[in-house]
């Protein structure tokens, strides 16, 4: 009996699942490798794997392996294979060609043509007749993989990807492939649960892919039983008798398995999805075995008569721009539903963003990496038990405050808050004295002095005392529920220590920013208050934005600008709310120009100017600062300024910008263009809050540069020497 060298391809990261599956099918000499498993076996073995593998993509039968260092060598080696052993002159064939790290052929289409020509020429020279090309259902499909200088030639026994089970008629948006669905179920332990009579529920079933894979596993149904075409059907060595025997055996096993199937249920809110799933279930022969119902995720509760089992789903990934918040809310609702209705169950789900998994509020086993197409995902496996429940990290102050309200305040504040309260009192005693002496009304009172209490606390003295609390990501060593308890203690102790109503304390969630997140709106309450800084007054807002409108760490540079501005022409770039402009104007600037891309913040700057009764030559320009600077610098007679403040964001991919801005990459051009606008003896102050920033002095060697960072970091920010960097630059 002939034994063949065979190879089963599969999605990346499914190799070991496939290897275990092949062992269960009695396959020998199994060798897992990247994106597949090599093995040996008879023709019957190959057929059985084609019919029964739930996770493989294709089954390849090796024909030849040889060296290829030129296009002609590929042609010659293909012609050495006796193709008459595999197809007749009047038959049809197709060629699949892939190359990796090959110097001879790097174009897959050209490689496929070369292989096709070699086969056609051999048959025509030998029989005077050429075979036909059929890319849909050829009699044989030839697979060639050229890796470096080594080519492997195989017959594709599957013909088309084995994930196509033969029941799908209609596709909906972003379906999961059947073999990936099967891999999920196998890793999730569905075989064992189904054998014990456990129920399976998919609360977001879509077109029913997971339901049908679960049904086929539970009923011992071969996944390839419904397929009407395989790549070996037209192969000259095909043994129809062996294949029919395998089909008959598979049908018997399915018929028997259907009599002992457990409960399988699918819910979905979309009527269209349910209708598609119903059609697929009928096509697959499970019409009376799978229950489908239109339900919202919040109502996806099991019936009392259903035995506890496995909940499985492929929830939305939220990959599209603008879907993040909506998807996060869906996961939170899903987590609430699991905690309420599915205690004692197990659950598996595939997600692309691990952060979304935390929204569930249920600890998972170590995630398993899988790939849905090219998208790397994680398979979460959950035991839905109260001991595994936790409060997920909030993404905004409303969510965080809602979580805090669930904390037992007495227990939290009496025990967890005592150490924090003592530190806050100590800071208040020293910093309030310093602030009074320096005439500072807004300052940082606390900045994660105690790592366990990872918040920054700023106080704003105006007609009242307001407190702005910014929560940082806690250290990884701090468990999420402890971080929430400590934040609850912070929010409880601040009003006590500062002796103010809790309504005057505002909470913000601050994360590492990859763009200009300080410009993002969080609310639309429109409540503003006035505060003072030196001789200036400013509007601040504690509820609508991540930042208040006044960056406290820039207080010294603003005061310095005010001192130096008298009689000078001042330019403020990336101006935000125009606070530096106000200082310059109050300091007696001859004129000011304020440039920012946001109309909202330019309007805010206008209000700040009006608040200080400044009605002189103060121009506000809404523009992309990068483009505006470049255009101004190119003018034959560019504007001239005696004093420029340049404080760009770390990163920006605003829709109004044609290109992404990165301060590390773009600061050289930015500074050079700004210097072009400096009048003789003019000064440019360049500042950045990017902690890893490195000024490229070599590229700016023609300029006089003085690092004044230490001089511009205020006393209340002294614990954090990297809060910003600042340089004095002149020609």
User: What are the distances in angstroms from CA 600 to CA 481, 515, 618, 653?
Assistant: 37, 17, 17, 18
Q: What is the pLDDT of residue 254?
A: 97
Contact 573, 600 (CB under 8 A): no
Q: What is the pLDDT of residues 621-658, one digit of tens each?
A: 999 999 999 999 988 888 999 999 999 998 876 655 55
Q: Which ranges in the chain are annotated with CATH 3.40.50.150?
A: 178-221+253-388, 529-730
Residue whose token pair is 């760490």:
553
Per-residue buried b or exposed e for 696-709, using 16+ beta carbons within 10 Å of the residue's own CB: eeeebeebebeebe
User: What are the distances in angstroms from CA 312 to CA 101, 309, 480?
Assistant: 40, 10, 26
SS3 678: strand
Q: Which ranges in the chain are annotated with CATH 3.30.2130.30?
A: 4-156
Residue numbers in the chain where pLDDT is lower than 70: 170-174, 318-325, 391-416, 475-478, 480-481, 510-524, 653-658
β strands within 481-628, DSSP E = 505-509, 529-533, 536-540, 569-573, 591-596, 618-622
Query: Closest Cα partner for 368 from 183, 121, 508?
Result: 183
SS3 508: strand
Q: What is the pLDDT of residues 417-455, one digit of tens each?
A: 888 999 999 999 999 999 999 999 999 999 989 888 889
Count Cα neighbours of 600 within 13 Å in the Cβ-side half-sphere: 10
Q: What is the pLDDT of residue 636?
A: 86
Query: Closest Cα partner for 117 from 150, 75, 146, 63?
Result: 75
What secondary structure does DSSP assign to 216-260, as a single string? HHHTT--TTTT-S--TTTT-TT--HHHHHHHHHHHHHHHHHHGGG
Q: What is the pLDDT of residue 316?
A: 79
Residue whose token pair is 């002992």:
260
* Cα distance between residue 662 and residue 710, in whole Å: 24
* Cα distance between residue 728 and residue 731, in whole Å: 11
CATH architecture of the domain formed by 4-156? 2-Layer Sandwich (3.30)
Alpha carbon 292 to its chain's center: 31
Instruction: With residue 144 as reference, give the H or E element that holds it.
Output: strand 140-147
- Three-state SS annotation for 50-99: HHHCCCCCEEEEEEEEEECCCHHHHHHHHHHCCHHHCCCCCCEEEEEEEE
Based on the number of CB atoms within 10 Å of its own CB, is 85 exposed (0-12), middle (13-18) or buried (19 or more)?
exposed
Contact 651, 662 (CB under 8 A): yes
Q: Which ranges in the chain are annotated with CATH 3.30.750.80?
A: 397-511
Phi, psi of 40 (to 5 degrees): -120, 155
- Region for residue 506 given its phi and psi (left: phi exceeds 0; alpha: psi -120 to 50; beta: otherwise): beta
Superfamily of domain 178-221+253-388: Vaccinia Virus protein VP39 (3.40.50.150)
Q: What is the pLDDT of residue 699?
A: 93
- Helix axis angle, 43-52 to 240-257, nearest 10°: 40
Superfamily of domain 529-730: Vaccinia Virus protein VP39 (3.40.50.150)
Contact 696, 655 (CB under 8 A): no
Q: What's the DSSP call for residue 416?
A: I
Contact 657, 624 (CB under 8 A): yes
Torsion of CA 162, 46, 25, 309, to 10 degrees: 10
CATH of domain 397-511: 3.30.750.80
Alpha carbon 565 to its chain's center: 46
Q: What is the pLDDT of residue 417?
A: 80
Q: What is the pLDDT of residue 410?
A: 37
- Reading the block at residue 314, the tokens are 């492929």
């Amino acid at each position: 009996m002939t034994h063949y060298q065979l190879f089963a391809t599969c999605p990346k990261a499914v190799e070991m699942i496939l290897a275990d599956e092949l062992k269960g099918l009695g396959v020998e000499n199994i060798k897992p490798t990247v994106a597949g498993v090599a093995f040996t076996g008879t023709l019957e073995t190959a057929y059985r794997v084609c019919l029964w593998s739930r996770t493989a993509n294709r089954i390849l039968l090796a024909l030849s392996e040889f060296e290829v260092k030129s296009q002609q060598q590929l042609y010659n080696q293909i012609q050495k294979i006796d193709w008459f052993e595999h197809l007749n002159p009047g038959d049809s064939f197709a060629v699949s060609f892939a190359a990796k790290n090959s110097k001879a052929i790097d174009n897959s289409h050209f490689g496929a043509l070369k292989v096709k020509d070699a086969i056609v020429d051999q048959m025509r020279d030998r029989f005077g007749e050429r075979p036909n090309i059929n890319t849909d259902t050829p009699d044989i499909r030839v697979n060639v993989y050229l890796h470096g200088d080594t080519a492997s030639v195989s017959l594709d026994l599957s013909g088309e990807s084995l994930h196509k089970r033969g029941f799908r008629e209609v596709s909906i948006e972003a379906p999961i492939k059947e073999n990936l669905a099967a891999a999920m179920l196998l890793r999730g332990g569905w075989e064992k649960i189904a054998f014990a009579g456990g129920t399976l529920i998919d609360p977001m079933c879509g077109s029913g892919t997971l339901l049908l894979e679960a049904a086929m596993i539970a009923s011992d149904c071969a996944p390839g039983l419904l397929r009407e075409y395989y790549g070996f059907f037209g192969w000259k060595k095909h043994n129809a008798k062996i294949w029919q025997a395998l089909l008959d055996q598979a049908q018997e096993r399915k018929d028997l398995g259907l009599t002992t199937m457990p409960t399988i249920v699918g819910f979905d809110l979309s009527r269209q999805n349910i209708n598609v799933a119903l059609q697929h279930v009928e096509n697959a022969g499970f019409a009376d075995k799978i229950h489908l119902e239109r339900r919202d995720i919040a109502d996806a509760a099991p019936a009392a008569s259903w035995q506890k089992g496995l909940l499985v789903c492929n929830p939305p990934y939220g990959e599209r721009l603008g879907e993040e918040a909506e998807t996060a809310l869906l996961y939170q609702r899903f987590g609430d539903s699991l905690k309420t209705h599915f205690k004692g169950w197990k659950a598996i789900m595939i997600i692309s963003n691990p952060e979304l998994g935390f929204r569930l509020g249920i600890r998972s086993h170590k995630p398993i990496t899988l790939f849905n197409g090219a998208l790397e995902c994680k398979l979460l496996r959950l035991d839905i038990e109260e001991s595994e429940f936790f409060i997920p990290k909030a993404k905004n102050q409303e969510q965080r405050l809602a979580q805090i309200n669930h904390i037992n305040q007495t227990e939290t504040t009496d025990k967890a808050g005592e150490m924090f309260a003592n530190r806050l009192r100590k800071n208040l005693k020293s910093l309030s004295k310093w602030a009074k002496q320096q005439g500072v009304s807004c300052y940082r009172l606390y900045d994660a002095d105690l790592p366990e209490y990872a918040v920054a606390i700023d106080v704003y003295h105006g007609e009242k005392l307001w407190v702005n609390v910014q929560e940082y990501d806690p250290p990884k060593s701090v468990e999420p529920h402890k971080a929430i308890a400590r934040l609850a203690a912070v929010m409880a102790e601040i009003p006590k220590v500062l002796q103010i109503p809790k309504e005057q304390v505002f909470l913000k969630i601050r994360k590492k920013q990859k763009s200009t997140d300080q410009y993002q709106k969080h609310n639309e309450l429109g409540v503003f208050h006035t505060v003072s800084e030196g001789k200036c007054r400013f509007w601040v807002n504690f509820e609508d934005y991540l930042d208040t409108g006044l960056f406290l760490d820039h207080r010294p540079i603003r005061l310095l600008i005010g001192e130096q501005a008298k009689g000078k022409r001042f330019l403020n770039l990336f101006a935000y709310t125009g606070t530096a402009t106000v200082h310059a104007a109050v300091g007696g600037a001859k004129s000011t120009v304020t440039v920012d891309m946001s109309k909202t913040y330019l309007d805010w700057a206008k209000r700040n100017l009006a608040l200080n009764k400044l009605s002189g030559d103060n121009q506000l320009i809404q523009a992309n600062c990068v483009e505006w600077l470049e255009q101004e610098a190119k003018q034959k007679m560019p504007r001239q300024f005696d004093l420029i403040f340049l404080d760009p964001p770390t990163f920006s991919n605003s829709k109004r910008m044609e290109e992404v801005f990165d301060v590390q990459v773009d600061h050289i051009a930015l500074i050079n263009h700004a210097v072009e606008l400096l009048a003789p003896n003019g000064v440019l102050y360049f500042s950045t809050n990017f902690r890893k920033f490195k000024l490229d002095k070599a590229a700016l060697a023609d300029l006089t540069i003085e690092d004044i960072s230490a001089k511009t970091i205020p006393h209340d920010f002294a614990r954090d020497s990297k809060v910003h960097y600042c340089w004095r630059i002149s020609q």
